[in-house]
Amino acid sequence: MFYREAGQFKTTYISDQELFPVKQDRWGILLIIGFSFIVIPLIANDYWLQAILIPFLIFSLAALGLNILTGYAGQLSLGTGGFMAVGAYSCYKLVTIFPETNVILLILVSGFFSAGIGLIFGIPSLKIKGFYLAVATLAAQFFFEWLFGRVKWFYNYNDSGAIEVPVRKFFDIAVTGPIATAQTRYVVVLCIVTFLALIAVNIVRGRIGRAWMAIRDMDIAAELIGIRPLTTKLIAFAISSYYAGVAGALFVFAYLGSAEVEVFDINISFEILFMIIIGGLGSISGAFLGAAFIVLIPILITNLPRMLGMPINAATVEHFNFMILGALIVLFLIFEPHGLAKIWTIMREKLRVWPFPY
């Protein structure tokens, strides 16, 4: 009844390939974006911003990066944490070496360091496939975990071994550092993530996106129709690592405030992999859906029993977190490998004919 495409005819190829051909979708998305930019900073309290929305956005960005590499281009990577670390530590060095430069610019620049590293670790992908490639990415993961923990230059010879985010301003408003408010940090993260997400959407629907999917589905055939496998894979590694790098920088600068390299260990790599599996491999919205899901689960597990009057201790929460996460991964892969994004599409299909069943 409400969600009908009747009367919406596409008369040009341009309009046929619009992002949101259905008018109701377009309104929906504009509403969400408007809400996020205008309403939320005004009404959300600090807890929601700090504990849910900011990490959700940052993880979505990292998941977006991984989805490009693994979901679209079919190259399994277990090294997301390592690439995020490169972004975070490059940003830290840049910010401390160039204290006068705009910090948002530096965050965006630090992604390029990750991209470079991604290119290097992507070179093996010409000869190596499947889980062998995953092992190459593990090499990146463990190497960078070690590098940023042991080579003191990276954390400016701090005694604690941690990096602390200094205060930086943007038009006189503190954007990073202990005095930056949650609202400011939220807006910064939202702008960066929206911008990069739009770019991702554009790239994915063009020739590069098709080349990635071709390589993923059958790389031999792709080569035979004129797609260069190495170039395509390297572009995927570079872009994906760029996104992971910016996400890593934001993770420390806009979310944690200070960090030791352990936050980027193998667990975060697995977490982000789970996000794209649950959210939907090869889907931009899937990255966001998966990130939301995984950010919310521990919060639900902690708060639900308390609301029901049966509080459980922190250790048990973590155990259940692992169990539920693991079980969900297996269930999604068995029943809906295209994740929440596919479930959402199916729901919309049903909505199109509602209130009729088919």
Partner 1 sequence: MERKIGETLLGVEHISLSFGGVKALTDISFNIREKEVFAIIGPNGAGKTSMLNVINGFYHPQQGEIHFKGLHRKQMRPHEAAVQGIARTFQNVALFKGMSTLNNIMAGRNLKMKTNLFWQALYYGPARTEEMINREYVEDIIDFLEIQAIRRTPVGKLPYGLQKRVELGRALAMDPELLLLDEPMAGMNIEEKQDMCRFIIDINEQYGTTIVLIEHDMGVVMDLSERLIVLDYGRKIAEGTPDEIRGNQVVIDAYLGVAHTN
Partner 2 sequence: MIFIQPFFDMVGDPVLFLQVIWEGFVTGILYSLIAFGFVLIFKASGVFNFAQGIMVVFAALTLVGLHEAGVSAFVALPATILVMYVLAFSVERLVLRSLVNQPDIILFMATIGLTFFLIGFGEFIFGGEPKMMITEELLLPYDSITFFDDMLILQEIDIAASIIAALSLVFLALFLGKTKIGIALRAVADDHQAALSVGISLNTIWVVVWFISGVIALITGIMWGAKSDVSFALSIIALKALPVLILGGFTSVRGAIVGGLIIGIGEKIGEFYWGGLVGGSIEGWLAYMIALFFLFFRPQGLFGEKIIERV
The one of partner 1, partner 2, none whose footprint includes residue 282, by CB under 5 to 8 A per kind, is partner 1
**Cβ at position 239, least distance to partner 1 in Å:** 8
Select from partner 1, partner 2, none the partner in contact with residue 228, using the beta carbon and a kind-dependent cut-off of 5 to 8 Å: partner 1
221 part of the interface to partner 1, by CB under 8 A: yes
Give the closest residue to 80 by CA, choosing from 197, 240, 190, 204: 240
205 binds partner 1 (CB under 8 A): yes
* Options 30, 120, 323, 347; binder of partner 2; rule CB under 8 A: 323
Residues 58 and 189: beta-carbon distance below 8 Å: yes
CA distances from residue 36 to 148, 150, 186, 248, 249 in whole angstroms, order as listed:
35, 40, 10, 22, 22
Q: Of 225 and 310, which CB lies nearer to partner 1 in the complex structure?
A: 225
Residues near 92 by Cβ (< 8 Å), separated by ≥ 6? 154, 155, 156, 163, 165, 252
Q: Whose Cβ is closer to partner 1: residue 73's or residue 88's?
A: 73
> What residue 206 binds from partner 2, partner 1, none (CB within 5 to 8 A, per partner kind)?
partner 1
Q: Under the criterion CB under 8 A, does residue 105 sit at the interface with partner 1?
A: no
Nearest approach, Cβ of residue 127 and partner 1 (Å): 14
Judged by CB under 8 A, does residue 135 bind partner 2?
Answer: yes
Supply the minimum distance, in Å, between the C-beta of residue 255 and partner 1. 26
| Contact partner at residue 213 from partner 1, partner 2, none, CB < 5 to 8 Å by partner kind | partner 1
Query: Based on the number of CB atoms within 10 Å of its own CB, is 24 exposed (0-12), middle (13-18) or buried (19 or more)?
Result: middle
State the binding partner of 13 from partner 2, partner 1, none, CB within 5 to 8 A by kind: partner 1
- Binding residues for partner 2, rule CB under 8 A, total 46
Which residue is listed with tokens 């977006």?
64
What x/- string results for residues 144 through 173 when contact with partner 2 is judged by CB under 8 A? Answer: -xx---xx----------------------
Interface pattern 271-310 for partner 2 (x via CB under 8 A): --xx--x---------------------------------
Judged by CB under 8 A, the residue of 46, 217, 318, 349 near partner 1 is: 217
Angstrom CA distances, 94 to 152, 173, 245, 251, stand at 15, 20, 13, 16
Instruction: Choose which of 128, 162, 227, 297 interacts with partner 2 (CB under 8 A).
Output: 128
Q: Of these, 112, 142, 170, 344, which contacts partner 2 (CB under 8 A)?
A: 142
Return the H-helix or E-strand segment holding 259.
strand 258-259
What angle do the packed helices 54-66 and 182-204 form, to 10 degrees? 20
Q: Which is nearer to partner 2, 187 or 236 (CB)?
A: 236
All residues at 6 or more sequence positions from 37 whose CB lies less than 8 Å from its CB, including other chains: 187, 190
Contacts of 20 (CB under 8 A, 6+ apart): 26, 29
Query: What's the rounded Cα separation, in Å, for the pair 355 and 358?
Result: 9
Three-state DSSP state, 163: strand
> What are residue 173's phi and psi, to 5 degrees?
-105, 130
Q: Which residues pair with 174 in a beta bridge?
A: 169
CB of 36 to partner 2, least distance (A): 31
Q: Which H or E run contains 99?
A: none
Among 2, 13, 153, 171, binds partner 1 (CB under 8 A): 13
- Contacting residues for 233 by C-beta, under 8 A, at least 6 apart: 73, 75, 122, 125, 126, 215
Q: How far is CA 54 from CA 85, 200, 286, in A?
A: 18, 20, 18
* Site residues, partner 1 (CB under 8 A): 13-14, 17, 199, 202-203, 205-208, 210-211, 213-214, 216-218, 220-229, 235, 282
* Site residues, partner 2 (CB under 8 A): 74, 76, 124, 127-132, 134-136, 138-139, 142-143, 145-146, 150-151, 220-221, 224, 266, 270, 273-274, 277, 315-316, 318-330, 333-334, 337
